[in-house]
């Protein structure tokens, strides 16, 4: 049990100008093998780092070291985009599930021929860091790179810089051999035993003629618990079965079936109450009804200090109280162990039991081994309260499940073998929706699980059983490929299951990190070993949640039903191991642009989830838009994102300006920040780059909430980054803040609200909103300059997914949907579109061309109204070409007018050249 939020918000419906490019640019094929040294300064970016939690600061600096190296190598926008398009320029937990915000010491950067690997100078597991980068590249690309170059880095915090020393490049095989690579024939018992004894990490299984060979790593000193030949034999037996489920484990939640079950699970409960709960007769129990009993249980469980009346007959143990409360609600009371695929009574099965149970407990802060101090960044959910703005009005209980499963983004199958990347195990989570189906979890439910998923290796270094579970996952993937594809089998025999229980195994393994007592129970209806879920400490938050789940070993080939992964159709560099939908893949060979859907499949082989990637490359830079399924809550600076946007969406643009590399991001089309990698004068032979990070609107919203809560009368007046302010039509104060608008006030608004937080102040509640004004003020209008201008028909100049204002009144015009043209524009009408930048400098030239009263927007259909076509997914023509900086919403806007010769009736109509 954990107090948790059930926030609900609408997706934001912002429209930002989409870069549409043609052609392809990149660095010349140059020799980058020579050793060199580089300094990457981040002194100008400490403000952006201040918003990140402790360990995330280090991860952000590692990301920036990679960008600094990309700029120093001269990779350019296209190559940098291909290598890093899944990573945001400034990290944020709000889009953790949508993007790959890499964690751990290493970073890979592929330039088209050489894989550059960044490794900490003092990395105690240097060989492992290099090996995992090589493995993931091979899983993504399907083969090893031509060369590998290692770059050692040191973060000098006092000087706010990262020092990089580059080693000479070498062949991939040479680098593998130098870092512990091993290969052995394993279709014979002695060969398999030798391989398992000499290695601790499986990376590949393949057929060489009629022989089966395994490849992997020997990393001396790396934590981990090894897999034995008996483990491999048990897994192979499970995959050779012709019926029944594949190998796996689950703790299945079960309700009590009768009074005997309740007595067994809540032994501290008065027997008279046990009878009353099932008969409804509460006479003589001290309670008038089941509702009164439930209230007494809740008080003792959640507010023991507030109890004023005695509660007769109730257990004192909190775990039993939690079980009793669930029984009174008709919910699950105990969790019953289920071993699938022949894992019962085996060492492999007990390992999966342990990691499943411990993951649930540690996420809720329960147990003696919770790694709060040992693993930087690990925060149990009770220690991470949900911001009030993300809570719904009425608290709810959120039930869902977590499970460990195979990571499809780390596996590449071929007719001759299987390659396994850096991270074979994923932690998944889903919650039960209103209609009983499983849906994406809320922010509060998924926060800790998402962190664990992204930091699995760090937790596995702390508890080697998680490393062992990952090796079991790897061997299961290899054996699924070997057995289901009819490729052969290993010459090992699975031992018979030994008598014993998980409790015996737990007691026997004194090296386990978790040594807390198990809440074991034996209800008569249970068919397997059972435990009670242990509740967390009580916290002040938005609600409660329950977690169930298990461990599913590899089943990717079974789920795909032999369907190809489809990744081979993607261009070099942007290809990843994640399966794609071939029917949705579009590639432009001339530019290297591509649009594709990453997918996962259910047990029937049907697509269950998809994420769309739209990558456009061209001479002016590259842009990528990654779109995922909706989420119930979209946290943004502690406030829920609002609006009409149906999906989660992150956009990144990559541009080179001279020798500078500029990377900009936006989430739900709201600016998340910009990173400029600037070449700086070098005092010696060491090249230097400077990271200049400009926080996006999330940082502005955080600052606004902080200032308004402290001094609502002052608000943002005088705050750094505020350019000017004015009163809105409903009395709110609107601040032109950085590259967007912040609105502060009480009550309704006519602005388009992107994110909103209700702030408690001494003067009463105030709404602090990130907005797009429905009408530009005279101050806004006087503070723009034209970036580009084009005239033609709608089909020639239609803005793609752009914020469009009516030129004569500066009023925001609506669109049918993001990406569609403004409604009711005749297809052949001649229009002028101006891309302008709001500079924030009052007295700028203002809107060019004078007023235009011929343009009026109506939602009523007219003959000749435009259809929603326009720029295609590869963007090779049409659209608006941006010729200046793009800084997200508020940086660039579109002003639209319909061209018409002046007439006596419309003397101020605007003609176009």
Distance of CA 678 to the CA centre of its chain: 28
Instruction: Look at residue 525 in the predicted model and tell me its pLDDT.
Output: 97
Instruction: Look at residue 24 in the predicted model and tell me its pLDDT.
Output: 33
Burial (CB count within 10 angstroms: exposed 0-12, middle 13-18, buried 19+), residue 426: middle
Q: For residues 545-567, give the mean pLDDT.
A: 77
Conformational region of residue 496, where left means phi above 0, alpha means psi within -120 to 50, and beta covers everything else: beta
Do 224 and 463 touch, CB atoms closer than 8 A? no
Residue 522 confidence (pLDDT) above 90? yes
User: Which residues lie across from 150 on neighbouring strands?
Assistant: 117
Residue listed under structure tokens 């299951």? 497
Quickly count: other Cβ atoms within 10 Å of residue 691's Cβ.
27
Residue 834 confidence (pLDDT) above 90? no
Instruction: Look at residue 23 in the predicted model and tell me its pLDDT.
Output: 31
Residue 602 confidence (pLDDT) above 90? no
Q: Where are the beta strands (DSSP E) in 752-907?
A: 752-759, 766-772, 784-793, 804-806, 830-838, 892-898
Q: For residues 477-489, give the mean pLDDT.
A: 87
Residue 232 confidence (pLDDT) above 50? yes
Instruction: Look at residue 190 in the predicted model and tell me its pLDDT.
Output: 94
Residue 815 confidence (pLDDT) above 50? no
State the Cα–Cα distance between residues 16 and 22, nearest whole angstrom.
19
Lowest mean pLDDT among 68-77, 263-272, 524-533, 616-625: 616-625
State the Cα–Cα distance between residues 886 and 665, nearest whole angstrom.
10
Instruction: Look at residue 539 in the predicted model and tell me its pLDDT.
Output: 64
Residue 397 confidence (pLDDT) above 80? no
Question: Residue 659 to residues 65, 70, 161, 331, 656: CA-CA distances in angstroms?
Answer: 17, 11, 20, 62, 7
Q: For residues 823-846, give the mean pLDDT.
A: 68
State the Cα–Cα distance between residues 23 and 593, nearest whole angstrom.
9
| Cα–Cα nearest to 165, from 83, 49, 27, 72 | 72
User: Which residues lie across from 184 on neighbouring strands?
Assistant: 214
What phi, psi does 786 have (nearest 5°)?
-80, 130
The domain segmentation of the chain, as residue ranges, is 699-772, 784-913
Beta strand 37-41 with 688-695 is parallel
Q: pLDDT band at 60, cuts 50/70/90? A: very high
Q: Mind listing the pLDDT tens digit for each residue in 282-303? A: 999 999 999 999 999 988 888 7
Q: Mind listing the pLDDT tens digit for each residue in 868-907? A: 222 222 222 233 333 333 333 445 677 777 787 666 665 6
| Cα–Cα nearest to 365, from 561, 603, 541, 224 | 541
Lowest mean pLDDT among 268-272, 422-426, 437-441, 535-539: 437-441
| pTM of the model as a whole | 0.84
SS3 state of residue 735? strand
Instruction: Look at residue 819 in the predicted model and tell me its pLDDT.
Output: 43
State the Cα–Cα distance between residues 311 and 443, nearest whole angstrom.
36
**CA distance between the termini of the chain:** 69
One DSSP character per residue, 599-630 reads EEE-TTS-EEEEEEEEEEEETTEEEEEEEE--
Residue 470 confidence (pLDDT) above 50? yes
Name the maximum alpha-carbon separation found in the chain: 99
Lowest mean pLDDT among 23-27, 108-112, 406-410, 471-475: 23-27
State the Cα–Cα distance between residues 302 and 79, nearest whole angstrom.
55
| Cα–Cα nearest to 544, from 680, 346, 691, 397 | 397
Residue 537 confidence (pLDDT) above 80? no
One DSSP character per residue, 69-118 reads HHHHTT-HHHHHHHHHTTS-SS--GGGTTTS----SS-EEEE-SSEEEEE
Instruction: Look at residue 499 in the predicted model and tell me its pLDDT.
Output: 72
Averaged pLDDT score across all residues of the chain: 81
């Amino acid at each position: 049990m954990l107090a948790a939020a059930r926030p609900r918000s609408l997706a934001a419906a912002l429209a930002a100008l989409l870069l549409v490019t043609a052609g392809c640019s990149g660095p010349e094929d140059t020799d980058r093998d020579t050793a060199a040294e580089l300094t990457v300064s981040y002194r100008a970016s400490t403000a952006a780092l201040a918003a990140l939690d402790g360990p995330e600061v280090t991860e952000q600096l590692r990301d920036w070291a990679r960008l600094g190296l990309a700029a120093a190598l001269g990779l350019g926008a296209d190559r940098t985009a291909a290598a890093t398009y899944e990573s945001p320029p400034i990290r944020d937990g709000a889009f953790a599930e949508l993007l790959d915000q890499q964690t751990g010491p290493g970073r890979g950067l592929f330039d088209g021929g050489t894989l550059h690997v960044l490794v900490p100078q003092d990395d105690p597991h240097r060989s492992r860091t290099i090996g995992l980068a090589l493995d993931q590249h091979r899983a993504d690309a399907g083969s090893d790179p031509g060369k590998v170059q290692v770059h050692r880095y040191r973060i000098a915090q006092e000087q706010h810089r990262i020092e990089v020393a580059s080693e000479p490049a070498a062949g991939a095989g040479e680098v593998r051999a130098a870092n512990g690579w091993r290969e052995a024939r394993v279709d014979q018992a002695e060969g398999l035993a030798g391989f398992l004894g000499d290695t601790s990490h499986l990376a590949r299984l393949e057929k060489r003629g009629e022989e089966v060979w395994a490849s992997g790593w020997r990393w001396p000193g790396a934590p981990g618990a090894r897999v034995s030949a008996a483990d491999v034999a048990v897994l192979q037996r499970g995959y050779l079965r012709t019926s029944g489920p594949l190998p796996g484990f689950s703790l299945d939640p079960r309700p009590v079936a009768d009074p005997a079950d309740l007595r067994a699970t809540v032994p501290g409960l008065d027997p008279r109450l046990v009878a009353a709960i099932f008969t409804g007769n509460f006479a003589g129990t001290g309670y008038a009804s089941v509702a009164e009993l439930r209230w007494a249980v809740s008080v003792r469980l959640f507010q023991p200090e507030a109890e004023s009346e005695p509660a007769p007959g109730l257990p004192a143990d909190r775990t039993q109280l939690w079980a009793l409360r669930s029984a009174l609600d008709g919910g699950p009371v105990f969790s019953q162990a289920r071993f699938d695929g022949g894992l019962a009574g085996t060492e492999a099965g007990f390992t999966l039991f342990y990691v499943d149970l411990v993951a649930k407990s540690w996420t809720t802060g329960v147990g003696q081994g919770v790694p709060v101090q040992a693993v930087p960044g690990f925060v149990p959910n009770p220690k991470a309260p949900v911001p009030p703005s993300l809570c719904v009005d009425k608290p709810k209980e959120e039930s869902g499940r977590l499970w460990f499963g195979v990571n499809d983004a780390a596996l590449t199958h071929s007719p001759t073998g299987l390659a396994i990347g850096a991270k074979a195990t994923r932690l998944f989570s889903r919650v039960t929706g209103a209609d009983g189906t499983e849906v994406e979890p809320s922010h509060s439910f998924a926060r800790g699980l998402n962190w664990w998923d992204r930091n699995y290796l760090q937790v596995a270094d702390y508890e080697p059983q998680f490393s062992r579970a990952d090796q079991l996952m790897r061997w299961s993937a290899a054996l699924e490929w070997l057995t289901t594809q009819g490729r052969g089998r290993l010459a090992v025999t699975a031992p018979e299951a030994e008598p014993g229980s998980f409790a015996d195994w737990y007691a026997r393994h004194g090296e386990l990190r978790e040594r807390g007592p198990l809440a074991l129970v034996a209800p008569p209806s249970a068919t397997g070993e059972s435990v009670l879920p242990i509740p967390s400490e009580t916290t002040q938050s938005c609600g409660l949640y329950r977690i169930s789940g298990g461990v599913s070993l590899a089943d990717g080939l079974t789920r795909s039903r032999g369907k190809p992964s489809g990744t081979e159709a993607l261009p070099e560099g942007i290809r990843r191991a994640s399966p794609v939908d071939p029917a949705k893949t579009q590639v432009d060979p001339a530019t290297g642009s591509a649009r594709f859907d990453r997918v996962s499949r259910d047990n029937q082989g049907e697509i269950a989830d998809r994420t769309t990637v739209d990558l456009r490359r061209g001479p002016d830079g590259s842009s990528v838009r990654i779109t995922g399924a909706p989420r119930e809550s979209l946290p943004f600076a502690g406030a829920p994102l609002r609006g009409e946007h149906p999906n989660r969406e992150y956009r990144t643009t990559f541009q080179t300006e001279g020798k500078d590399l500029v990377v900009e991001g936006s989430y739900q089309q709201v600016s998340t920040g910009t990173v400029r990698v600037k070449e700086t004068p070098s005092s010696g032979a060491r090249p230097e780059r400077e990271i200049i990070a400009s926080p996006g609107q999330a940082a502005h919203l955080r600052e606004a909430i902080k200032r308004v809560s402290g001094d609502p009368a002052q608000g943002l007046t005088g705050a750094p980054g505020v350019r000017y302010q004015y009163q809105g039509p409903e009395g709110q104060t609107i601040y032109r803040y950085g590259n967007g608008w912040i609105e502060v006030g009480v009550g309704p608004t006519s602005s388009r609200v992107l994110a909103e937080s209700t702030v408690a102040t001494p003067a009463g509640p105030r709404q602090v909103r990130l907005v797009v004004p429905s009408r530009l003020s005279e101050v806004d209008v006087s503070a723009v300059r034209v970036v580009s201008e084009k005239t033609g028909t709608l089909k020639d100049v239609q803005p793609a997914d752009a914020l469009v204002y009516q030129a004569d009144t500066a009023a925001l015009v609506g669109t049918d949907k993001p990406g569609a043209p403004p409604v009711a524009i005749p297809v052949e009408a001649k229009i002028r579109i101006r891309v302008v930048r709001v500079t924030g400098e009052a007295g700028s030239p203002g809107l060019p061309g004078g007023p235009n009263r011929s343009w009026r927007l109506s939602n009523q259909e007219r003959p000749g109204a435009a259809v929603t076509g326009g720029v295609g997914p590869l963007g090779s023509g049409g659209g608006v070409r941006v010729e200046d900086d793009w800084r997200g919403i508020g940086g660039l806007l579109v002003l639209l007018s319909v061209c018409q010769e002046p007439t006596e009736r419309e003397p101020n109509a605007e003609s176009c050249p």
